[in-house]
Amino acid sequence: MLNVSLYRYNPETDEAPYMQDVQLDTGGKDLMVLDVLEKLKAQDPSLSFRRSCREGVCGSDGINMNGTNGLACITPLSETVKQNRLVLRPLPGLPVVRDLVVDMSLFYQQYEKIKPYLINNQPAPAIERLQSPEERAKLDGLYECILCACCSTSCPSFWWNPDRFIGPAGLLQAYRFLADSRDTATDERLAELDDPFSVFRCHGIQNCVAVCPKGLNPTRAIGHIRNMLLQRAT
């Protein structure tokens, strides 16, 4: 029997969030954490969490498992359970809607701020804007982000200033467009980032790198942005 401790909160009936202890028979299998949640929901349908693709592609089921953020669907019990105990909480730092479901508005607002689309003021070519293989290679390690929010919600700077610090996920995408040879708004983008909060609240502790389920490195991207700002200003 696996001991699971669940964060429960229903704002309509509960005055405050609480931890609920439940036991689950895993049949000795190394289930994914999402399987555990599905089984628990079968026992108690009021348990709420987000999920969709169940294979680490949609980014819906980012939660905090035994203190570490990750995607429930691709985290096997063997990777996270310690002493037969699994503690499941919502992603830290964001308002809880219910149980493991958080309100992602602040996270999306920061993403929106960096203008996550190509801006190009040159006349559109007849067919498409071409990139050399080298130019395209610069986007590797950037475009794969699935916006699961595991990184930003593991970042203390984002916890303290989620309205002013863009956060690792947003900054990784900011660099994705700064690095794109087809984008011509580099200077405007950099000007938007040169304040004491948007980029410079990153102190390089690399929690984001440690949790990213896609193995991406937001800290490195932030370093690139800083270098671009430095180059532009000196």
Partner 1 sequence: MVTSVTNLGRSGLFDWVVQRVSAVVLLAYTVFLAGYLLTNSGLTFNEWQGLFQQNWMRAFSLLALLSLITHAWVGLWSVTTDYVTVRQMGAVATPLRLILQSGIALLSFYYLVWGIQILWGAG
Residues that bind ligand SF4 (CB under 6 A): 145-151, 168-169, 172, 211-212, 214, 216, 218
Which one of ligand SF4, partner 1, none is in contact with 160 (Cβ closer than 5 to 8 A by kind)? partner 1
Query: Exactly one of 194, 204, 205, 210 binds partner 1 (CB under 8 A); which one?
Result: 194
Alpha helix (H) ranges present in the chain?
Answer: 33-43, 77-80, 105-113, 133-137, 156-160, 167-178, 186-193, 207-211, 218-233
Q: Is 229 in the site for partner 1 (CB under 8 A)?
A: yes
Give residue 232's identity as a one-letter amino acid code. Answer: R
Query: Exactly one of 96, 175, 201, 216 binds partner 1 (CB under 8 A); which one?
Result: 201
**81 contacts 68 by C-beta, under 8 angstroms:** no
Q: Is 191 in the site for partner 1 (CB under 8 A)?
A: yes
Nearest 5°: the CA angle 66, 42, 81 is 20
Which one of ligand SF4, partner 1, none is in contact with 192 (Cβ closer than 5 to 8 A by kind)? partner 1
Residue closer to ligand SF4 (CB basis): 47 or 72 = 72
**57 contacts 69 by C-beta, under 8 angstroms:** no
How much is the CA Rg of the chain, to the nearest whole Å? 20
Tokens read off for 132: 């050399």
CB of 145 to ligand SF4, least distance (A): 3
Which one of ligand SF4, partner 1, none is in contact with 226 (Cβ closer than 5 to 8 A by kind)? partner 1
